[in-house]
């Protein structure tokens, strides 16, 4: 009996304390709200100015955090440590749109990072690896596709300006399991009843942006590789894409199989001739090389990404 009485008394004391804290919180909040919102204290002009200042502080804070993340990742790579860019939960360690004109929508779905872009979206995962040799890989699933839809990964992103024109160049490894690009290619030497297939392609991309609306997108295809299409009614599978970058060359992998290798010097000279109808001065800004940003690409559709990793490659002795 005494133990039950003690419990009851303790409950009453605890209840009074919680009630006091709750009433104190309500009273304090109400008083502060009245004080801040009383007539003549806050004007619309002051509120807008404070809001803009708060936005600027948040933007500056995010940029500082991003710089710290990038330095940490570059330090890991410099010390021959593997860096996870997107883990099993779909959370990106760092990400931003490579440029405002290449944006879309991002959300977490089924432990993956999903990107939707109905023009072209370039989501940067690392501005510059800072190491001379590395392997960048990711698992990709094509969810939806438009008439020219494709998804994949990119490396060597660079940008520059000529007057008021912004130029963007990168190497893309993309494919299509959905949309107009899927199941439309005639495989050489194939016969009925399955003459069509999907394709994975390696392209040089150069985009000239004239203001917000006008854009010219030039590509040069380096290689097309065919693969069986997804059966109708079946979900898109996860595809494993990878790019190996070295100072003198690069190689691309599809589902862990090598499908293309080339030298940077060779494609740099070829791009001047084959990125047609690329006019000057855009042609002089179409630069391709081992340095530059890397990330994810979605064109006219949506895709999910997971297990994106970059790891340094040791120099051959």
* Structure tokens given for 201: 């392609």
C-alpha distances out from residue 116 to 138, 152, 230, 237, 294, Å:
17, 13, 21, 18, 18
Q: Where are the domains of the chain?
A: 2-42, 82-312
d(CA 247, CA 185): 34
CB 98 within 8 A of CB 158: no
* CB contact set of 268 (below 8 Å; sequence gap of 6+): 287, 288, 289
d(CA 188, CA 183): 14
Of the candidate ranges 11-20, 84-93, 154-163, 165-174, the one whose mean pLDDT is the lowest:
11-20
SS3 287: coil
**Res 300 pLDDT > 70:** yes
Query: What does the pLDDT look like over 160-201, one tens digit per residue?
Result: 887 788 888 999 999 999 988 886 655 555 554 444 678 899
d(CA 20, CA 15): 8
Mean pLDDT of all residues in 23-40 = 58
Report the relative pairing of strands 83-86 and 293-312 from DSSP bridges: antiparallel
> ω into residue 193 within 30 of 0, thus cis?
yes
Query: What does the pLDDT look like over 96-120, one tens digit per residue?
Result: 998 877 888 998 888 999 999 988 9
Most confident of 43-52, 154-163, 266-275, 279-288: 154-163
Residue 157's pLDDT is 93
- pTM assigned to the model: 0.75
* pLDDT band, very low/low/confident/very high, at 5 (cuts 50, 70, 90): very low
CATH topology of domain 82-312: Jelly Rolls (2.60.120)
Task: Compute the mean pLDDT over every residue in the chain, rounded to the nearest whole number.
Answer: 78
């Amino acid at each position: 009996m005494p133990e039950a009485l003690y419990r009851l008394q303790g409950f009453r004391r605890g209840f009074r304390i919680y009630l006091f804290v709750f009433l104190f919180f309500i009273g304090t909040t109400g008083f502060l709200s009245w004080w801040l919102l009383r007539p003549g204290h806050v004007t619309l002009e002051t509120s807008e100015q404070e809001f803009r200042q708060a936005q600027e502080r948040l933007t500056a804070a995010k940029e500082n955090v991003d710089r710290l993340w990038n330095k940490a990742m570059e330090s890991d790579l410099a010390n021959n440590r593997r860096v996870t860019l997107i883990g099993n939960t779909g959370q990106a360690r760092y990400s931003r749109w490579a440029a405002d004109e290449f944006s879309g929508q991002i959300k977490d779905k089924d432990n993956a990072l999903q990107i939707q872009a109905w023009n072209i979206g370039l989501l940067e995962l690392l501005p510059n690896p800072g190491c001379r040799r590395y392997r960048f890989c990711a698992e990709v699933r094509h969810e939806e596709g438009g008439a020219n839809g494709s998804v994949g990964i990119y490396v060597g992103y660079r940008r520059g300006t000529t007057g008021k024109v912004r130029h963007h160049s990168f190497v893309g490894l993309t494919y299509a399991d959905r949309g107009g690009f899927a199941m439309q290619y005639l495989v050489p030497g194939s016969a009925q009843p399955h003459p069509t297939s999907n394709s994975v392609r390696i392209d040089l991309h150069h985009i000239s942006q004239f203001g917000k609306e006008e854009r010219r997108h030039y590509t040069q295809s380096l290689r097309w590789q065919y693969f069986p299409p997804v059966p109708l009614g079946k979900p898109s599978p996860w595809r494993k894409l990878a790019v190996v970058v070295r100072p003198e060359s690069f190689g691309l992998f599809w589902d862990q199989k090598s499908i293309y290798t080339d030298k940077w010097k060779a494609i740099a000279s070829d791009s001047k001739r084959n990125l047609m109808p690329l006019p000057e001065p855009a042609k002089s800004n179409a630069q391709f090389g081992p340095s530059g940003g890397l990330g994810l690409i979605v064109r006219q559709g949506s895709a999910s990404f997971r297990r994106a990793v970059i790891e340094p490659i040791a120099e051959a002795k």
